[in-house]
Structure 1
Amino acid sequence: MSSLDALITLRKTLHQNPELSNQEEATAVRILNEFQSFSPDEIVTDLGGTGLAFVFNGTDSGPTTLIRSELDALPIEETNTFKHRSQVKGVSHKCGHDGHMSIVTALGAELAKFRPQKGRVVLCFQPAEETGMGAIQVVNDVRFAALKPDYAFALHNYPGLELGKVAVRAGTFNCASRGMIIHLKGKTSHAAHPENGISPANVMCNIIQELSALPSKIVDQGIEGRHWVTVVHAKLGEVAFGTSPGDAVVMVTLRSETNEGMQMLIEQAEAFSQSVAKSENLGISFEYEDVFQASVNSQEGCDRIVSACETTQTPCLLLDEPMRWSEDFGQFTATAKEGAMFALGAGQTSPQLHNPDYDFPDALIPIGRDLFLDIIRQLNGFKKMTL
């Protein structure tokens, strides 16, 4: 599996057979089968659901370095027509996790030949990154305590950035985000006598208007960073011209560069919504989905990535601002002492992530592998150098 051709074949097989979050049983079996020939010192299966961890031990004492990949795909119908297109209707690898898995599998092939000198390396394949649940499930698994890393690293391919170029920064790398669902409950009435009911129409409109303006108010209160509230859906009553509506739903995406900013967004969004609902005698409740913490890079973690770029002669860009998209890798860096995620350019002409015509560039497999190998070399050494 160490040859690039074999890794590309694996990537395309994974691409053809995508599975949704927390349904990645067959994907996990494929990865497990690949790693059998690498003879890891320890294998953990069903980690946080369908997750896997492969441990490679050194002979001397040293840190535990964890490298993470994702197993899941997206509920998107692929429009590509190449031979390795998805064979599963309505599901496809439109975030490049097939490529990420191939990169980390390439690490396993190298560690099979050259064990770390000190400490240990854990190659982790987590479920359900797309829903924000997978990393939480993994770190909350009782068996993860024995794998707890001192350092954690991951990459994500990034369309729009020059092919093979790294982008990284210390501090927040990915924003915190969550989907907020606001349920309003009133009372229906005949449309000829709306005064006999309790319509949520005005409250729904007020909530949409106020929450859309909330980010600027957060900044005025001294909360650092950037914040966004995006209304993604709203529904008022049912389509019935004879009935005044009795319920409504508003869905918004909250996003912030910091976990503190996210908490303030939640508190103020809920407080305003409760207040305006109460003023018109409406019941109100809240739900949250797709919850992501901010992914925060440590300074040392960032420095290790920059050093790996220098060693491998990979161009590197230090970002001034965090990426606005979200990632659940922050659960690992919150657990580890040090660590970082970086973006690896997928090309300036590549379709964007989650586009139906996106496909992971195979040229990134050896680049990602060599960057991770150098990070491992820095922290754990090798019994025989691979770079």
Structure 2
Amino acid sequence: MLTNSDLVELTSFRRELHKRPELSGEERETARAIAGALRALNPGKILTGLGGHGVAAVFDSGVEGPTVLFRAELDALPIQEISDHPWKSEIDGKGHLCGHDGHMTMLLALGRLLQRQPVARGRVVLMFQPAEEDGSGARAVVADPAYEEIRADWAFAIHIEPGRPFGYVSTKEGLINCASKGLEIRLTGKTAHAADPEDGVSPAQAVARLIPALAGLGQGGRLDDDFRLVTITHVQVGEPSFGVAPGEAVIFATLRTAHDAAMDGIDRDARALARAAAQEAGLTVSFDVCDAFAASINHPEATEVAIAAMDAIGVDNGSYGLPMRASEDFGVFGWGAKAAMLCLGPGEDYAALHNPDYDFPDDLIPVGASIFERIARDLLGRA
């Protein structure tokens, strides 16, 4: 059980993390702070530099058994925080506005509990993942050769999700978060004087046709296996000039599907539309992919374990608000493990994630830690 002293120290640590947010792929100082806090807990091993700046602590019982991984995220967002808190971000244009500072602190709280009473068998891995916000971190961690040393049999994560009562957890078997991909389409022709547009090759008409055609590939609706959604998030045609007919255009389209396998199909369809529009207009076309997230799919057994743990310690839970269209970079851990994502409520009227005035509620630290600990004990016992 966490003591009052634990909670004071953990809250202070969380607020220090909050002051110094780092973006995806830049989490050097955050990783260093986490590694330092972990060393004080004397785990059997600490791995650093996983998939970039990832950090993992291994609490090994020394007795054969499964490996249970609990994940938190290191990175923050490129958003200017608006807050009167003494611990508000000290870095302009960056903020921990998605709860990752709190998620990290919950794992450190779990580490304290494991230090005091080790598990009876198997291993617990506390995984602090880099680059969650752009969808690149989990793949990089799992692809890192060092990950083989800690490859998990079970994987669990908690993400704060506003709109739910304080301490309520949403989870269920199956789809939790959609797969998504950012597809950049670049159309290139030739500029001309605005008085003589026929001297150039403009992408404007191709863009005008492409926008509704791309959106028509997936219009959302019910979140079942056939769910597809294309959202046009950015369009630029030429430069802001009245004297130049455009020669280049860029379209950002976010593709969403309920399952990873369906993503290839909608991506292929979107590229085919862009190639056809480019050919018809005498343009060249190129593509780039950003922010590619795997779907988060809860394994039936992992979900059952998590729900049983929450029921045992009196944490109210259900499936409210699930599945979600939003994506989360946890699904990759479920490719090789029985995995479950849990969505923890901070209060029904709490600020939304990615809002400039968002801040993690510190009173959730012991709630998350207690859920994780009970899962660990149920799977691995007490020494």
Scaled to the shorter chain, the TM-score interval is over 0.9
Aligned to 1:368, what secondary structure does the other structure show?
A: helix
Q: Does residue 358 of structure 2 align to residue 358 of structure 1? A: yes
Matched length: 379
**Equivalent AA in structure 1 for residue 206 of structure 2:** V
In the other structure, the counterpart of 1:339 is 339
Asked if structure 2 preserves the Cα contact closer than 8 Å seen for 1:186 and 1:200, the reply is: yes
In structure 2, distance between residues paired with 1:245 and 1:345: 48
In structure 1, distance between residues paired with 2:150 and 2:53: 16
Query: Which consecutive aligned stretches of 4+ in structure 1 deviate over 6 angstroms post-superposition?
Result: none
Q: CA deviation at 1:136?
A: 1.3
Asked if structure 2 preserves the Cα contact closer than 8 Å seen for 1:169 and 1:320, the reply is: no
Asked if structure 1 preserves the Cα contact closer than 8 Å seen for 2:104 and 2:128, the reply is: yes
**Equivalent AA in structure 2 for residue 5 of structure 1:** V
Change (3 A) 1:76 1:199: same
Q: CA deviation at 1:19?
A: 1.2
Q: CA deviation at 1:214?
A: 1.2
Asked if structure 2 preserves the Cα contact closer than 8 Å seen for 1:178 and 1:290, the reply is: yes
Matches within 5 A, 1:164-313: 164-216=167-219, 224-313=225-314
Aligned to 1:89, what secondary structure does the other structure show?
A: coil
Q: Give the TM-score normalised by the residue count of structure 1.
A: 0.94
Q: Does residue 141 of structure 2 align to residue 128 of structure 1? A: no
In structure 1, distance between residues paired with 2:322 and 2:114: 34
In structure 1, distance between residues paired with 2:257 and 2:342: 19
In the other structure, the counterpart of 1:314 is 315
Identity score, percent: 43
1:106-148 Cα offsets, whole Å, 9 max, x none, are: 0110111111101111111111111111111111111101111
Asked if structure 1 preserves the Cα contact closer than 8 Å seen for 2:135 and 2:329, the reply is: yes
**Equivalent AA in structure 2 for residue 382 of structure 1:** R
In structure 1, distance between residues paired with 2:252 and 2:275: 15
Q: CA deviation at 1:345?
A: 0.5
In structure 2, distance between residues paired with 1:143 and 1:260: 28
Q: CA deviation at 1:319?
A: 4.7
1:79-104 Cα offsets, whole Å, 9 max, x none, are: 01111111111111000111001100
Matches within 5 A, 1:17-96: 17-96=20-99
In structure 2, distance between residues paired with 1:259 and 1:329: 13
Aligned to 1:348, what secondary structure does the other structure show?
A: coil
Asked if structure 1 preserves the Cα contact closer than 8 Å seen for 2:170 and 2:322, the reply is: no
**Equivalent AA in structure 1 for residue 138 of structure 2:** A
**Equivalent AA in structure 2 for residue 187 of structure 1:** K
1:11-60 Cα offsets, whole Å, 9 max, x none, are: 11111111111211111121112112211011111111111111111132
Aligned to 1:232, what secondary structure does the other structure show?
A: strand
CA RMSD, Structure 1 to Structure 2 (Å): 1.7
Aligned to 1:291, what secondary structure does the other structure show?
A: strand
1:170-191 Cα offsets, whole Å, 9 max, x none, are: 1121111111111001122222
Q: Give the TM-score normalised by the residue count of structure 2.
A: 0.95
Aligned to 2:122, what secondary structure does the other structure show?
A: strand
Q: CA deviation at 1:357?
A: 0.1
Asked if structure 1 preserves the Cα contact closer than 8 Å seen for 2:170 and 2:321, the reply is: no
Asked if structure 2 preserves the Cα contact closer than 8 Å seen for 1:157 and 1:343, the reply is: yes
Q: CA deviation at 1:346?
A: 1.4
Aligned to 2:362, what secondary structure does the other structure show?
A: coil
Which consecutive residues of structure 1, in runs of 5 or more, have no partner in the other structure? none
Asked if structure 2 preserves the Cα contact closer than 8 Å seen for 1:101 and 1:125, the reply is: yes
In structure 1, distance between residues paired with 2:252 and 2:22: 26
Which consecutive residues of structure 2, in runs of 5 or more, have no partner in the other structure? none
Q: CA deviation at 1:225?
A: 3.4
Asked if structure 1 preserves the Cα contact closer than 8 Å seen for 2:78 and 2:94, the reply is: yes
In structure 2, distance between residues paired with 1:347 and 1:133: 30
Q: Does residue 154 of structure 2 align to residue 151 of structure 1? A: yes
Q: CA deviation at 1:194?
A: 2.0
**Equivalent AA in structure 1 for residue 327 of structure 2:** S
Q: CA deviation at 1:239?
A: 2.6
Stretch deviating more after TM superposition (312-321 or 169-178): 312-321
Asked if structure 2 preserves the Cα contact closer than 8 Å seen for 1:160 and 1:349, the reply is: yes
**Equivalent AA in structure 2 for residue 262 of structure 1:** M
Asked if structure 2 preserves the Cα contact closer than 8 Å seen for 1:42 and 1:55, the reply is: yes
1:208-231 Cα offsets, whole Å, 9 max, x none, are: 011111115x99xxx933221111
Asked if structure 2 preserves the Cα contact closer than 8 Å seen for 1:169 and 1:319, the reply is: no
